[in-house]
Amino acid sequence: MTIAATRTDLAAWERLIGDAVRDPDPTTSNLKVTRAHYLLSLALSEVLGADAGANFHTWAVWGSRKAGVTIREEGLDRALREVTILALCTGLLTGFLLGLALSPWLPGWVAPALAAVGVAAGAWTGRRWLAHGRRRAAELMLAGNRTVLDDIGGQTARFVTWFSQEGRDAAGGLCRFLEGFRAGGAEEGGQDLLRRAFEQYYRVALADESAEKQQATYFANCLAILHEHVRLQPYIGGSLPWIVRRCVTWRLMRYDVGPLRLAVGDDVPRLDGLEYPESLRKLTDPGLVEFLHGPGGMDPGGASLAGTAARDWTRLGERMRYVVNLFRALHLHPDVFTAPYTDTQFEQIRLGQVPPGPL
């Protein structure tokens, strides 16, 4: 599948997306979703211009690749170790406190005995909970992974084919294109935020100056990611029981962007000595400034990477503060544009195979 041949073929995009989201095997479905995001990223970049920076699908590649770790239930050894330690400590403390509370009426050996029982019970309960929780998280992650591609990827496919065929010159063409979005908020299944995102992408495609293109692309990405995270809130909330949300966010939620290894429990890092690229350091678009820093905005602190770490990933506001700063800081960073797989792996995924080695 070549981008040049497919950019004007909506039916080909629909087959690609449909094959990914309907594949019954969780692992190959996720791999196909990641591949589809990469191809959509390349196609959208051709429409927007190479100087526009990362688009939504450029970032979605890495989100989908990270989701694959959970979907395949990889990294279980470390998770078992972390959860077992947490459960041991909780059981020890519970048993010890119970023993102290009962000590006036029972022999002195009861407190340490109850502490030992608490340790054993905590370890057993923690490991059983993790096994069940991982399966549940894998199911929810796959459902969310497919939802994002079907929802946003489908609109990107419409945009790149429509724009390549007629979008630049057709009178009233943008209005007709925007009629293809469902009205309403994302929490109700609507696509108002997506409609605004693609209005920005259209502005990028027509703009000549790189700084304007990059701010508008960044704005579009922020609108699209807010739409996505509102849609995914039930999946994310359901995959992390409240008792371990902060621990998991801090200890386990690490991810890759190309060769970069990052963690949502840490502040978005400064790369190359800069917080943001020059074009995004001072934001001039009033709509973008309002979206980020206005009342109820996604980044009320503003203009700094300090304090962007998430404490509880299930909270929409914390996720968005982290993500919009990540998108802003790395908008032009070359690692973001890295291919997630080799050409050989891409071909194996296209054929419905699981490539050997790390994924």
Kindly state whether residue 206 falls inside one of the protein's structural domains. yes
| Dist. CA 218–CA 226, nearest whole Å | 12
Angle at 128 between CA 125 and CA 129, to 5 degrees: 80
Cα distances from 81 to residues 67, 250, 252, 305, in angstroms, run: 21, 15, 11, 31
Kindly state whether residue 115 falls inside one of the protein's structural domains. no
Q: What's the start-to-end Cα distance of the chain, in Å?
A: 21
pLDDT, tens digit, 9 for 90 and up, residues 103-137:
454 455 444 554 455 445 544 454 555 554 567 77
Kindly state whether residue 25 falls inside one of the protein's structural domains. yes
Q: What per-residue confidence (pLDDT) applies to 237?
A: 79
Contact 309, 251 (CB under 8 A): no
The total number of structural domains that make up the chain? 1
Structural domain containing residue 289 = 3-75+140-350
pLDDT, tens digit, 9 for 90 and up, residues 156-191:
999 999 998 876 666 678 888 999 999 999 999 999
131-140, 143-152, 218-227, 350-359: least confidently modelled range: 131-140
pLDDT, tens digit, 9 for 90 and up, residues 270-302:
988 888 999 999 999 999 999 999 988 999 876
Kindly state whether residue 215 falls inside one of the protein's structural domains. yes
| Dist. CA 213–CA 171, nearest whole Å | 22
Higher per-residue confidence, 83 vs 210: 210
**Residue 65, phi then psi, degrees to nearest 5:** -65, -40
Q: Which residues pair with 2 in a beta bridge?
A: none
Q: Which residues contact 152 (CB under 8 A, 6 or more apart)?
A: 56, 57, 60, 194, 224, 227, 228
Q: Which two tokens stand for residue 46?
A: 């051709």
Q: What per-residue confidence (pLDDT) applies to 304?
A: 83
Q: Which residues contact 118 (CB under 8 A, 6 or more apart)?
A: 90, 91, 92, 93, 94, 95, 96, 98
pLDDT, tens digit, 9 for 90 and up, residues 223-243:
999 999 999 998 887 767 666
Q: How many CB atoms lie within 10 A of CB 94?
A: 17
Kindly state whether residue 22 falls inside one of the protein's structural domains. yes
pTM: 0.85
Higher per-residue confidence, 273 vs 28: 28
Kindly state whether residue 90 falls inside one of the protein's structural domains. no
Q: Which residues pair with 302 in a beta bridge?
A: none
Kindly state whether residue 103 falls inside one of the protein's structural domains. no
Higher per-residue confidence, 350 vs 4: 350
Q: Which amino acid type is present at position 114? A: L
